[in-house]
């Protein structure tokens, strides 16, 4: 059964939507597949859950997903990869606070994670209450971006700043890393991903990176930590 298209009268030509196959049985994917004006394809995406119009890359998380990714340390690494993607990226956070009734993570820790994603890494965040609203938000966002790309909406200047500047900004989100150390790291390793994967001894070969700073970097990006303390600091 097709969902009414009256809410989306402008989907012409159809929006191309690639859905990560691991998301195929989730609510938003089913809602999108039922909409007219969608060209849906399911395949494994290397990053994100939804790639729309080959322009907007969305990572969908329920509130419980968010908490799990904070606890196991995936969130910072995932956020860094999203922030350096070739696409415009967004995190879609789905659910209501009622779903957190039995959760033991502090409100400050969750807020710290969201601040890191949005203010430090510069990734926009959209909130939805349920799957249908998630699907509609993705379509609204993609339509808006299509209008901007085709000149249908006025825009004051251009936002992105170039990959190198984005990479340097990301690195300065790591503990003990200012502008100069960020430049040294990037010059030595060549990419943010290589820096995040570097071992303690490799980091210490970079000028200006001593053992203490190298240890702090490894602590921040280590997925093995059960507590991702960078997000537990209410100052963030």
Decide: 78 and 116 in contact? Cβ < 8 Å: no
**Phi and psi, residue 64, nearest 5°:** -70, -35
| Alpha helices, DSSP H, located in 22-121 | 27-34, 63-71, 74-83, 107-115
Report pLDDT digits (tens) over 52-95: 999 999 999 998 889 988 888 888 888 988 988 889 999 999 98
Side-chain half-sphere exposure of 175, counting CA atoms within 13 A = 18
The Cβ of residue 231 has, within 10 Å, a number of other Cβ atoms equal to: 26
The Cβ of residue 145 has, within 10 Å, a number of other Cβ atoms equal to: 16
For residue 40, list its beta bridge partners.
17
Percent of the chain with pLDDT over 70: 84
Decide: 131 and 125 in contact? Cβ < 8 Å: no
For the chain, what is the mean pLDDT? Answer: 81
Report the predicted TM-score, pTM, of the whole model to 2 decimal places. 0.63
Determine the Cα–Cα distance for residues 138 and 101; give it in Å rounded to an integer: 27
**Phi and psi, residue 159, nearest 5°:** -75, -60
Residue 42 DSSP one-character state: E
pLDDT value, residue 150: 63
Determine the Cα–Cα distance for residues 217 and 220; give it in Å rounded to an integer: 5
Handedness of CA 31, 37, 41, 47 (dihedral sign): negative
Give the chain's residues under pLDDT 50.
1-9, 153-155, 157-160, 224-236
Determine the Cα–Cα distance for residues 27 and 83; give it in Å rounded to an integer: 25
User: In which residue are the tokens 């710290």 written?
Assistant: 112
Handedness of CA 102, 114, 163, 135 (dihedral sign): positive
pLDDT value, residue 193: 85
Hey, what domains does the chain have and what are their CATH numbers?
Answer: 15-149 (3.40.50.10130), 163-230 (1.10.150.20)
């Amino acid at each position: 059964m097709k969902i009414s298209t009256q809410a989306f009268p402008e989907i012409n030509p159809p929006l191309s939507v690639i859905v990560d196959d691991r998301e195929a049985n989730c609510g938003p994917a089913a809602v999108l597949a039922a909409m007219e004006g969608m060209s849906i394809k399911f395949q494994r995406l290397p990053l994100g859950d939804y790639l729309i119009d080959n322009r907007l890359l969305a990572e969908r998380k329920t509130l419980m997903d968010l908490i799990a990714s904070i606890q196991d340390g995936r969130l910072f690494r995932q956020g860094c990869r999203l922030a350096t993607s070739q696409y415009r990226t967004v995190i879609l956070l789905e659910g209501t606070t009622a779903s957190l009734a039995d959760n033991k993570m502090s409100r400050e820790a969750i807020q710290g994670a969201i601040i890191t994603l949005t203010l430090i890494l510069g990734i926009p965040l959209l909130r939805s209450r349920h799957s249908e609203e998630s699907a509609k938000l993705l379509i609204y966002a993609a339509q808006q971006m299509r209008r901007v790309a085709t000149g249908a909406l006025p825009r004051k200047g251009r936002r992105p700043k170039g990959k190198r500047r984005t990479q340097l900004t990301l690195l300065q989100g790591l503990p003990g890393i200012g502008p100069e150390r960020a430049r040294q790291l990037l010059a030595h390793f060549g990419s943010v991903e290589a820096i995040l994967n570097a071992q303690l001894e490799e980091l210490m070969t970079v000028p200006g990176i001593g053992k203490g700073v190298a240890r702090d970097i490894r602590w921040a990006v280590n997925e093995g930590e059960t507590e991702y303390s960078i997000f537990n600091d209410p100052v963030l």
